[in-house]
C-alpha cells in the first residue's frame, strides 16, 4: 500500500506553487497535516532569499521531504550536506524547468545538438516582475534541455528585461531575451535551428490551462511530440513521491549549484 505523506506550506509557497491544488490532485500520495498529525512530513517553502536556511530548519524539524518553489540563486552545499546526512529528499519546483515536457524536449534537442546552428530563446513575465528572478528561471529552463552553456554574457539589463548571449557546446550562438510585458502571455520559448530543421519548445506558466508544446522539424517534416497534460507543480510533487518511496535522492541541488555558479559569473 502506498504511503500518504502529510504536507504543510508557507503562505508564499502556496501562493506561488499552488501547493494545495497539487496535493489534492495526488490524494493517495499527500494530504494536509491535521491535529491528529501535527508534525508534517513534507514542508513546502518559497524560494525567496534565505531559502536554503529555511530548508535546513525544516530538516532539523524532522521533515522527510522538502519542496522549494521558484528558488533564487543561493549556495546549496550546506543544504545538500544536511539533506544527505538526514536522508531528506529536496526537490525544486522551478517555474518552467520543472515542466514534464522538458524531459522529451531534452532528448529532442540533444539528439541534434551537434548540428546546431543557433539557439534563440525568449522568456516573458508580467510587468513588475523581478528581472533577475526571470533571468534565473529562464536560464534554468534552457539549461534543462541544452546542458551547460558557455561564454554567457549579459548584453543589456534594465527594468523592462535583459538581453544575453552564450554558446552551445558545439560553438553555435545562443540568444536570450527577457521581457517584462503584459502584451504577451507569460512563458518561455526556445528554438534550436539546425542545417535541416530544428526543435521548438513553448512552455506556459505552471498554472496555465494549456500544456507545453515540443515540435521537432527535419527532412521528414514537423512532428509534434506527445502532449503531456500535467503542470510543473504537479510533476514536482509526483517526482518527490517517487524518490521518497524508492529511497533515492534527486540531483536538483547539485544542478542548481551549477546554475548559481553560472549566474554568479555572468559578465
Residue with cell 530548519: 57
Equal CATH topology for 5-96+232-264 and 102-224: no
Q: What was the pLDDT predicted at 32?
A: 85
Distance CA 178, CA 158 (A): 10
Q: Which CATH architecture has domain 5-96+232-264?
A: 3-Layer(aba) Sandwich (3.40)
Evaluate if residue 35 carries a pLDDT over 80: no
% of the chain residues with pLDDT over 70: 97
Q: Is pLDDT of 38 > 70?
A: no
Predicted confidence band of residue 39 (pLDDT cuts 50, 70, 90):
confident
pLDDT at residue 36 tops 80:
no
**Angstrom distance (rounded) from CA 191 to CA 167:** 14
Neighbouring CB atoms inside 10 A of 264's CB total 9
Q: What is the pLDDT of residue 34?
A: 72
Cβ-based neighbour number of residue 147 at 10 Å: 13
pLDDT beyond 90 at 3: no
pLDDT single digits (tens) 70-128: 999 999 999 999 999 999 999 999 999 999 999 999 999 999 999 999 999 999 999 99
- Domain locations along the chain: 5-96+232-264, 102-224
Does 266 or 95 have the greater pLDDT score?
A: 95
Top-tier CATH class for 102-224: alpha beta
Please determine, for residue 151, whether its predicted confidence score (pLDDT) is greater than 70.
yes
Q: Residue 40: what pLDDT?
A: 87
- Report whether pLDDT(1) > 50: no
Banded model confidence at residue 8, pLDDT cuts 50, 70, 90: very high
Tens digit of each residue's pLDDT (9 = 90 or more) over 227-257: 999 999 999 999 999 999 999 999 999 999 9
213, 191 Cβ separation under 8 angstroms:
no
Query: Could you read off the pLDDT of 175-186 as tens digits, one per residue?
Result: 999 999 999 999
Amino acid at each position: 500500500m502506498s504511503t500518504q505523506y502529510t504536507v504543510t506550506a508557507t503562505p508564499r509557497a502556496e501562493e506561488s506553487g499552488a501547493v494545495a491544488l497539487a496535493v489534492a490532485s495526488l490524494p493517495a500520495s499527500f494530504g494536509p497535516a491535521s491535529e491528529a498529525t501535527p508534525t508534517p512530513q513534507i514542508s513546502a517553502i518559497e524560494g525567496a532569499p534565505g531559502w536554503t536556511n529555511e530548508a535546513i530548519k525544516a530538516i532539523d524539524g524532522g521533515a522527510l521531504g522538502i519542496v522549494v518553489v521558484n528558488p533564487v540563486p543561493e549556495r546549496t552545499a550546506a543544504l545538500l550536506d544536511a539533506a544527505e546526512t538526514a536522508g531528506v529528499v529536496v526537490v525544486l519546483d522551478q517555474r518552467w524547468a520543472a515542466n514534464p515536457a522538458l524531459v522529451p524536449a531534452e532528448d529532442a534537442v540533444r539528439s541534434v545538438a551537434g548540428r546546431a546552428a543557433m539557439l534563440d530563446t525568449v522568456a516573458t513575465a508580467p510587468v513588475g516582475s523581478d528581472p533577475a528572478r526571470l533571468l534565473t528561471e529562464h536560464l534554468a529552463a534552457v539549461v534543462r534541455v541544452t546542458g551547460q552553456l558557455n561564454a554567457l554574457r549579459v548584453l543589456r539589463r534594465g527594468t523592462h528585461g535583459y538581453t544575453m548571449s552564450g554558446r552551445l557546446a558545439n560553438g553555435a550562438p545562443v540568444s536570450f531575451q527577457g521581457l517584462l510585458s503584459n502584451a504577451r502571455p507569460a512563458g518561455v520559448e526556445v528554438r534550436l535551428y539546425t542545417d535541416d530543421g530544428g526543435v521548438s519548445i513553448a512552455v506556459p506558466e505552471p498554472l496555465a490551462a494549456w500544456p507545453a508544446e515540443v515540435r521537432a522539424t527535419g527532412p521528414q517534416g514537423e512532428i509534434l511530440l506527445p502532449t503531456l497534460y500535467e503542470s510543473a507543480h504537479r510533476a514536482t510533487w509526483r517526482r518527490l513521491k517517487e524518490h521518497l518511496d524508492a529511497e533515492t535522492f534527486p540531483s536538483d541541488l547539485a544542478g542548481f549549484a551549477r546554475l548559481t555558479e553560472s549566474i554568479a559569473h555572468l559578465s
